[in-house]
Chain A
Amino acid sequence: MYEIVVISGKGGTGKTSLTAAFAALEGPDTVLADCDVDAPNLHLLMQPDLKMSHDFYSGVIACIDPRLCNDCGVCKSRCRFDAILITEGHYSINARYCEGCGYCANVCPEKAVKMLVRKVGTWSVATTRLGSWMVHAHLGAGGENTGKLVAKVKNEARQVAHNYGKKTILVDGTPGIGCPVISSLSGAGFVLLVAEPSASGWHDLTRISELIQKFKLRAGCIINKTDLNPEISSKIKTQLQKEKITYLGELPYDEAFTAAMTKGRTIIEYNSSSLKNTLSYTWKKIKQITKLERY
């Protein structure tokens, strides 16, 4: 079982498009894991057929038991998040505002406030139209992204890969360098960086490569939309050499990506032969690297 994690630092550089492209090249022998649980979109290209779906709980939320509440209002006076509503003299919790700190439950003289586990989203296991498996999650509005849900998605993906004898796990990561990204990197055999030659793309690339160095992970980088700014592109290439990150190739800015996406297809299935060739070549390179020993 080999795990390839696609991340970028900056959002919108083309992680999902490329993950989907490689998934199309690799075919049924993969398990896809969409770890971008804040704004998952791999399913748009994969049109998964759900096999099972589960609720995901994280953190707690206050809840006032109206049978015990004597409407004293102590909770409202203490709540720092303005999460306690009063309607016709009775108190209730505004779930959107409650941070789950538990202060109200602590001060309630009647012990009418209970802290309940909070459902923040769902996660599902599915098969895709390409024959591969896919694990993805969806956070509800206001649901907080934590490494916990990412860990869940990744563990399930490993379980599926184990059960069905799949060799490759392709992980579509989250932008940024924080908790969810760190969580998506755990167990990674290879990290695929998708860089974008823009000021913010460059800045975030340096941050993410710092993180990768910290974990001593093997990494490679594709420069997407390389013709947007050839100057930064060449700067990225020099930097990659310095940081010992394998340079895997570059892709031009191409509206075929958008066109394929609006059709719900990967770029590989869409008619664009030059991109297809570059991507197959890059994927071959990645596969060669992943066959090597880890350190």
Chain B
Amino acid sequence: MEKNQTNHKIRKVLILKIVFTTKGTSLEAEMDSRFGRSSYLLLYDDANGTMECFDNRAVADAGHGAGPQTAKKVFDLKPDILITGNGPGGNAATILEKTGIVIYIGAGDLTVREALENYQKGLLYRL
């Protein structure tokens, strides 16, 4: 936990883009604990506090390869950080590892706002 906090302090000075896996389209929406079949991807920009929402339901509905497809979408959004529930599965994790996106997990039961606050307090678990 301590390690997370120091990490956070270093990163605080940077302008961050964060992607959340969510079930809804607002800050009050619940997080989606799934990565691959997450309903939406929310992109939060720390620079001006704006948010953008991307519909991922088509991928969530795919029979196969939901993980890697979502990983590609996340990569295309070029975030610095991904916040999700359990974390991506093997295939998606391999892709994300190469992108250098930092993944935080353990936000599955929170709302997006709570997840963001918990991240800022350094309460989330870094993969």
Q: Is the CB of B125 within 8 A of A59?
A: no
With contacts A215-B86, A216-B87 known, is A186 near B33, CB below 8 A? yes
A127–B64 alpha-carbon span in the complex (Å): 31
Q: Name the interface size band of chain B.
A: 20 to 34
A252–B63 alpha-carbon span in the complex (Å): 40
Least CB distance from B97 to A in Å reads: 11
Chain A residue contacts of B66, Cβ below 8 A: 147-148
Q: Is the CB of B34 within 8 A of A215?
A: no
With contacts A183-B37, A216-B87, A294-B106 known, is A148 near B61, CB below 8 A? yes
With contacts A182-B89, A186-B85, A187-B86 known, is A148 near B34, CB below 8 A? no
Chain A residue contacts of B89, Cβ below 8 A: 179, 182
Chain A residue contacts of B24, Cβ below 8 A: none
Check B122 for interface membership: any CB of A closer than 8 A: no
Q: Is the CB of A214 within 8 A of B87?
A: yes
Chain B residue contacts of A214, Cβ below 8 A: 87, 90, 93
Q: Nearest residue in B to A158 (C-beta to C-beta)?
A: B33
Q: Is the CB of B90 within 8 A of A182?
A: yes
With contacts A182-B89, A187-B33, A295-B106 known, is A216 near B62, CB below 8 A? no
Q: Of B34, B64, B90, which one neighbours A187 at CB under 8 angstroms?
A: B34
Q: Of A144, A148, A187, which one neighbours B62 at CB under 8 angstroms?
A: A148
Q: Is the CB of B108 within 8 A of A187?
A: yes
Least CB distance from A285 to B in Å reads: 23
